[in-house]
Structure 1
Amino acid sequence: MNYETRISADKAESLHGTLEAPLIEEERSRRRWPWFVLAGLALAIAAFFIFGRGGGETTPAGDQADQLPVVTVVAPGNATIEGTINATGTLGARREVPVGVVGEGGRVISVPVDRGDWVRQGQALVAIDRSVQNQQASGAAAQVEVARADADLAQSNLERALKLVDRGFVSTADVDRLTATRDAANARVRVAEATLRELRARNDRLSVVAPTSGLILTRNVERGQTVGAGSQPLFTIAQGGEMELLARLGEEDLASVSVGTPVTVRPVGLDKTYSGQIWQIDPVIDAQTRQGIARVALSYAPGLRPGGFASAVIQSGTVVAPMLPESAIMSDAQGNYVYIIDKDDKVVRRGIETGLVTDRGIAVVDGLSGQERVVLRAGGFLNPGDRVKPKLTKAGN
């Protein structure tokens, strides 16, 4: 029985192996078929993009246009462009008037004004002790009265003598003598009066007065100080309070401005600007710096302090021309040029001549009409003849 049992087990194992092999192979086939389907689908998609959706035709012209580089262009037109020149300089009084002692001077007893005060012409700035001079003037006034009394007496004596001439009591010689005495007395009156006027004029000159109306910039006198003719100026006055900027310009810039040119001035440390105009251009160029001075007249303002530093923007004229940003203009050994896009959307080189330079761009005074499509940026990556896809933008963008 054992023998039969072993034979039956061997047959069963052999039969199991025979049935299992086909089942395993069938299972493997079921697992592989999705991969074949995915591979076929991928090949179909690739063929679709390679040969196009048009039934195997080549790439359309529209797809070729999509592959062209896009460049930004602008039609600048023509604009009125104001040129500017930037300069720096020092502020100062346009007309600086020094004030000193005119008379003999003396001890200062009063200084009623100070730096920064406005004064009018003839206003007293310094009072000087004049006690001695006043006594001298009083004595001179008394001498005038004495001389007038003598002149009146001489006139009376002459008139009495003339009444007695016809009676024979007074001779003609006496009349002549009395006439001479009267004339001499009148002359002494005039001398005394002239002396009095001189003393009073000297006394008036003891007070230092403003020779002009304006703003006091400096003061160099104090109460109790002794001053005299020939001493340093006691005050400095800006006539009318007017200021100026001494703007330094190079030779080329100086030649492009003229008297009356508008200027905007901004002192250092202030955000406020002041308007003025050039009132004088120095005729001399500094041999060392090759610069000249343009004097800009400015009305008085608290922010304009003499000796301060300021910047200026000078209007150097206007032109009507196309204006382009700096990015659109290139240069080489042949000069300045731009790239324009023609009617076939091809790049064309165009030589230009530039003019005024402003914060908004550069004027093109020759080479463009303003109607061309000019490449704004990336001109260095293009070459004449390249075909591009232009994208028009507004001027100034």
Structure 2
Amino acid sequence: MNFETTGWRRQALEGEVLDEVVIAQRRKRRRIIIAAAIAAILLIAAFFAFAGGEDPATTPAAGEGAEALPSVTVIVPGNEQISRTISATGTLAARRDMPVGVAGEGGEVSRVLVEAGDWVNAGQALATIERSVQSQQARQLAAQIQVARAEADLAQSELDRALALVDRGFISKADVDRKTATRDAAVARVRVAEAQLAETRARIGRLDVRAPASGLVLDRMVEPGQIVGPGSGALFRIAMGGEMELVAKLSQEDLARVTVGVPATVTPVGSTDSYQGQVWQVSPVIDPQTRQGDARISIPYQPDLRPGGFASATIVTGAIDAPLLPESAVLSDEKGSYVYIVDQKDMVVRRPVRTGQITDEGVAIVEGLNGTERVVRSAGGFLNPGEKVRPVRQKAGR
């Protein structure tokens, strides 16, 4: 039994040794597989990093050397018709502000017929003044006319009878002359009475405050019961024809470019609507303090335009044909304004220019370009004259 026990133990120990060897081999094989997988992953990553991520745009072209050429966006602006405009601000007012007051002797206001904001026609009554006394005077004068006409008719009848009897010798020539003078005096008294009645009626008519022209009532400064007269001042203000104007303040230089009749666009502050007008008057003098003058822009009647309001105006003073560039393409330094263009050899060239009108659409170039050049659109400050680039043309849109 001792031999059997010893043999069994030896066999067990040999099996354990064999198991440890197998496990060690398996572990070694696993490490080799993992290391190979990691190496493959690293190789794939390196391939994509050095081959797949390369930008074709920056790859050196054949014969250009190892250094990549920078890409720049260029435009060919061409020529456009550009309006020369002047921007200004000012105050709205009635073009013809007509104060309306009492034309006659005045009196107590009995009725006011219009309100501010009403449209009135020429000759329309705006207010009436109490006229009972003047009406009685008119009736009295009308009665006097009837009396004078009766006397004139009687004098004419007596003259006719005298003329019938003068040939018979019953009435002398002197009597006929007296009766003729009596008849003429009676006729004259009729005419005097008629003139007095017409005067009284005219005075009564002047008691009505009437509009001198068609237009818009801007202000009403009278109420019923108020005593008014020639010294009372204006009772109403009317904008003749409803026309408004913008009194635009311009510098001396801009004023010299404006002429009567040029078109203008007026936009009231706080409104999105614009209205077309034209300059109807240019100030002949310049304010010595501000060095500014007035350009008056007439505007047809519009309900949204109110005197006293503030508005801006764009005045068109002419038009030119010139290239139009975005503001990013125009640079400046102590030598003046300039742009970068790309020549036929794809070299950057500095080109001095003179700018003109600046609008929301871009900058007009009045000198230095003919419109056919390839102009660097932007980022010109990062380029240097003589540098070779790769131009990418883009449509000249603003």
TM-score (norm 1): 0.84
Tell me the equivalent position of 1:195: 196
Tell me the equivalent position of 1:225: 226
Residues 223-269 of structure 1 show CA distances to partners (whole Å, capped at 9, x for unaligned) of: 11111112120000000111111111112222222212211111112
Structure 2: segments with no counterpart, 5+ residues: 1-20, 51-59
- Counterparts of residues 226-375 of structure 1 (less than 5 Å): 226-375=227-376
Following the alignment from structure 2 to structure 1, what is the Cα–Cα distance between the partners of residues 331 and 380?
A: 8
Give, in angstroms, the shift of residue 84 of structure 1: 2.3
Following the alignment from structure 2 to structure 1, what is the Cα–Cα distance between the partners of residues 66 and 92?
A: 62
SS in 2 for 1:177: helix
Following the alignment from structure 2 to structure 1, what is the Cα–Cα distance between the partners of residues 130 and 65?
A: 102
Following the alignment from structure 1 to structure 2, what is the Cα–Cα distance between the partners of residues 369 and 136?
A: 86
Tell me the equivalent position of 2:74: 73
Give, in angstroms, the shift of residue 162 of structure 1: 1.0
Given that residues 65 and 389 in structure 1 are in contact (C-alpha distance below 8 angstroms), is that contact kept between their aligned partners in structure 2? no
Tell me the equivalent position of 1:132: 133
- In structure 2, the CA distance between the partners of 1:396 and 1:314, relative to structure 1 (3 Å rule), is same
- In structure 2, the CA distance between the partners of 1:60 and 1:229, relative to structure 1 (3 Å rule), is closer
Following the alignment from structure 2 to structure 1, what is the Cα–Cα distance between the partners of residues 397 and 337?
A: 21
Following the alignment from structure 2 to structure 1, what is the Cα–Cα distance between the partners of residues 269 and 237?
A: 24
Tell me the equivalent position of 2:118: 117
- In structure 2, the CA distance between the partners of 1:65 and 1:137, relative to structure 1 (3 Å rule), is farther
1:146 aligns with 2:154: no
Return the letter of the residue paired with 2:261: G
Q: How many pairs are equivalent?
A: 360
Return the letter of the residue paired with 2:338: Y
SS in 1 for 2:149: helix
- Counterparts of residues 92-111 of structure 1 (less than 5 Å): 92-111=93-112
Following the alignment from structure 1 to structure 2, what is the Cα–Cα distance between the partners of residues 85 and 309?
A: 17
Give, in angstroms, the shift of residue 62 of structure 1: 6.1
Give, in angstroms, the shift of residue 60 of structure 1: 6.2
1:381 aligns with 2:349: no
Give, in angstroms, the shift of residue 167 of structure 1: 1.3
Give, in angstroms, the shift of residue 288 of structure 1: 1.7
Structure 1: segments with no counterpart, 5+ residues: 1-19, 50-58
Return the letter of the residue paired with 2:72: V
1:159 aligns with 2:164: no
SS in 2 for 1:196: helix
Residues 13-57 of structure 1 show CA distances to partners (whole Å, capped at 9, x for unaligned) of: xxxxxxx9xx99xx8xx97xx79x969x98xx89xx8xxxxxxxx
- In structure 2, the CA distance between the partners of 1:191 and 1:81, relative to structure 1 (3 Å rule), is same
Residues 274-329 of structure 1 show CA distances to partners (whole Å, capped at 9, x for unaligned) of: 11111111112122222111111111111101111111122232111111111111
1:182 aligns with 2:183: yes
Following the alignment from structure 1 to structure 2, what is the Cα–Cα distance between the partners of residues 289 and 173?
A: 85
- In structure 2, the CA distance between the partners of 1:83 and 1:65, relative to structure 1 (3 Å rule), is farther
Following the alignment from structure 1 to structure 2, what is the Cα–Cα distance between the partners of residues 238 and 254?
A: 27
Given that residues 102 and 229 in structure 1 are in contact (C-alpha distance below 8 angstroms), is that contact kept between their aligned partners in structure 2? yes
Following the alignment from structure 1 to structure 2, what is the Cα–Cα distance between the partners of residues 238 and 329?
A: 48
The share of aligned pairs that are identical, in percent, is 62
Tell me the equivalent position of 1:8: none
Following the alignment from structure 1 to structure 2, what is the Cα–Cα distance between the partners of residues 386 and 201?
A: 92
Given that residues 84 and 357 in structure 1 are in contact (C-alpha distance below 8 angstroms), is that contact kept between their aligned partners in structure 2? no
Deviating beyond 6 angstroms after TM superposition, the runs of 4 or more aligned structure 1 residues are: none
SS in 2 for 1:61: coil
SS in 2 for 1:237: strand
Following the alignment from structure 1 to structure 2, what is the Cα–Cα distance between the partners of residues 368 and 208?
A: 66
SS in 1 for 2:109: strand
Residues 350-373 of structure 1 show CA distances to partners (whole Å, capped at 9, x for unaligned) of: 111222222111111111111111
Given that residues 83 and 358 in structure 1 are in contact (C-alpha distance below 8 angstroms), is that contact kept between their aligned partners in structure 2? no
Give, in angstroms, the shift of residue 108 of structure 1: 0.8
Return the letter of the residue paired with 2:89: T
Give, in angstroms, the shift of residue 64 of structure 1: 4.1
Following the alignment from structure 2 to structure 1, what is the Cα–Cα distance between the partners of residues 83 and 65?
A: 45
Residues 49-104 of structure 1 show CA distances to partners (whole Å, capped at 9, x for unaligned) of: 8xxxxxxxxx8636748711111111111111123222111111111111000101
